């Protein structure tokens, strides 16, 4: 449906978009996720024709170069909604159809459909100023969908709502988008929003797409160090590659001469750039390792469940020793902050799996990655060198 190839845009010397490639399939919703200033909104504005970039943008197989905004057949929901304050709900929703010269009966029919879709039937004559923030958001959606656009762009559609309302409106938005089966590109800086609304999520950083994937894969197998850090929470540790055994990379955590050696998911398995197993220890760590808080096994040292190192099958002590620096209760989970040498490691434990008396501040523990959960590693100097 939408095809973007090598899209660039610069304001003077500042490159805002640096070679974007993206495909959005018919009926699919892609969430564009990135920190502020990453170029998300700019990308929408280029698609809309408000800014001119270089590169290829095709909608339904047709190049959009030089097509003015009003002839692109793209709908846009603005971050601030940009509802026309001098028109009522009806005037706003019908602005598009009237601009396209639809006849009166078709307009009325569409108005009814759209207001029903967003649950605002009966609000035709309301002035915009009389609506709540959530209602305005829904009018903005109805207005953007009224012309049956080939592609709908949503720019931070929920960011102007307070948190409680945002939750509810997000659900309604998800339902509405599913109901109309429109192809959508949605900009957000909220992970939850991207994961819930996007069939796929495109992570944007400094004008580049880092990874485009379904949410689970973004979380489990991030393609770059940026994605690994940006999506979810992780503890980041120095790592030294030790050996490759049957396609599996192992690394020593924290120190080059550490006894432990853990299996990890190396970027080689995805990108093909091999990581050299370096022999001599010392110097800067060549790799960094990302471990999710829920991916740790923790035991109280000197406790009753002393681990048998030999049973591990790796022929060495696989545990790191540390001290609990902090315990935070957070409902379903408890977060431990464990200090191991210089590193601070965050561990999340499901409630009920923790003995509140055993794990307390100052308590000595040992920990290692849960078996089956492979931490990701990337070279220390950025994802692509």
Which residues form the interface with another protein (CB under 8 A)? 6, 8-12, 15-16, 19, 45, 48-55, 68-71, 73-76, 78, 80, 82-86, 95-96, 99-100, 143-144, 146-147
Residue 156 is given by DSSP the state S
Least distance in Å: CB of 83 to another protein? 8
Q: Are 240 and 282 in contact (CB under 8 A)?
A: no
C-alpha closest to that of 322 among 368, 354, 281:
368
> Which C-beta is closer to another protein: that of 76 or that of 298?
76
Pure H helices in 221-372: 225-230, 268-271
Minimum CB separation from another protein for residue 286, in Å?
28
Q: What is the maximal distance between C-alpha atoms in the chain?
A: 81
CB closer to another protein, 145 vs 376? 145
CB burial of 90-128 (b: ≥16 within 10 Å; e: otherwise) equals bbbbbbbbeeeebeeeebeebbeebbebbebeebbebeb
Minimum CB separation from another protein for residue 270, in Å?
A: 22
Nearer to another protein, 229 or 384 (CB): 384
Of 86 and 353, CB closest to another protein: 86
Give the span between the Cα atoms of 29 and 14, in whole angstroms.
29
**57 versus 336: smaller Cβ distance to another protein:** 57
C-alpha distances (whole Å) from 261 to each of 12, 228, 240, 315, 334 are 49, 21, 9, 10, 27
Q: Answer whether 132's CB lies under 8 Å from 83's CB.
A: no
Question: From the centroid of its chain, how far is CA 362?
Answer: 35
CB of 73 to another protein, least distance (A): 8
| Inter-residue long-range contacts of 174-182, CB under 8 Å, 24+ positions, other chains counted | 176/117, 176/118, 176/141, 176/145, 177/29, 177/152, 179/117, 180/117, 180/145, 181/27, 182/27, 182/75, 182/145, 182/149, 182/151, 182/152
Give whichever of 79 and 172 is closer to another protein, judged by the CB atom: 79
Element (H, E) at 109: helix 104-117
Nearest residue (CB) to another protein, 107 versus 320: 107
Q: How far is the CB of 18 from another protein (least distance, A)?
A: 9
Residue 56 or 236 having the CB closest to another protein: 56
Instruction: Closer to another protein by CB, 55 or 379: give it.
Output: 55
- Least distance between another protein and beta carbon 183 (Å): 15
Rounded least distance, CB 101 to another protein, Å? 9
CB of 381 to another protein, least distance (A): 21
How far apart are CB 20 and another protein at their closest, in Å? 11
Nearest-angstrom CA–CA distance, 39 and 33? 10
Of 277, 275, 296, 262, nearest to 383 (Cα)? Answer: 275
CA distances, 259 to each of 236, 290, 315, 338 (Å): 19, 19, 10, 19
- Both tokens assigned to 270: 């995805």
CB 303 within 8 A of CB 366: no
Residue 86 vs 305, nearer CB to another protein: 86
Least Å distance, CB 288 to another protein, is 27
């Amino acid at each position: 449906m939408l095809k973007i190839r090598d899209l660039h845009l610069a304001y003077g010397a500042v490159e805002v978009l640096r070679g974007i490639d993206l495909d959005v399939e018919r009926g699919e919703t892609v969430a564009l996720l990135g920190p502020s200033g990453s170029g998300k909104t700019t990308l929408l504005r280029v698609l809309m024709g408000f800014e001119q970039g270089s590169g290829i943008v095709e909608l339904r197989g047709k190049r959009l170069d030089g097509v003015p905004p009003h002839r692109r057949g793209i709908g846009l929901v603005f971050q601030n909604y940009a509802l026309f304050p001098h028109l009522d709900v009806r005037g706003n929703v019908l602005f598009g159809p009237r601009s396209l010269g639809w006849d009166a009966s078709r307009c009325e029919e569409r108005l009814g459909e759209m207001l029903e879709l967003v649950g605002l039937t009966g609000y035709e004559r309301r002035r915009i100023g009389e609506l709540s923030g959530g209602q305005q958001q829904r009018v903005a959606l109805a207005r953007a969908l009224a012309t049956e656009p080939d592609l709908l762009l949503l720019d931070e559609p929920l960011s102007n709502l307070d948190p409680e309302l945002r939750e509810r409106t997000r659900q309604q938005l998800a339902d509405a988008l599913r109901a109309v089966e429109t192809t959508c590109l949605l900009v957000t800086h909220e992970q939850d929003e991207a994961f819930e609304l996007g069939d796929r999520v495109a992570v944007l950083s400094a004008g580049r797409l880092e990874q485009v994937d379904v949410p689970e894969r973004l979380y489990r197998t991030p393609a770059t160090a940026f994605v690994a850090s940006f999506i979810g929470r992780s503890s980041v540790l120095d790592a030294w590659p030790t050996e490759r055994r049957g396609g599996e990379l192992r690394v020593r955590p924290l120190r080059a001469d550490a006894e432990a050696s853990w299996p990890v998911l190396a970027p080689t398995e995805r990108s093909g750039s091999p990581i050299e197993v370096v022999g001599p220890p010392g110097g800067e760590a060549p790799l960094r390792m990302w471990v999710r808080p829920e991916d740790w096994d923790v035991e109280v040292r000197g406790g009753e469940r002393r681990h048998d190192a030999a049973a591990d099958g790796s022929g060495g002590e696989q545990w790191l020793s540390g001290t609990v620096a902090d315990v935070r209760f957070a409902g379903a989970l408890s977060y431990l902050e464990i200090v191991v040498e210089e590193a601070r490691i965050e561990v999340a434990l499901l409630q009920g799996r923790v003995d509140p008396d055993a794990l307390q501040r100052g308590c000595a523990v040992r920990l290692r990655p849960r078996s089956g959960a492979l931490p990701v590693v990337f070279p220390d100097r950025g994802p692509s060198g």
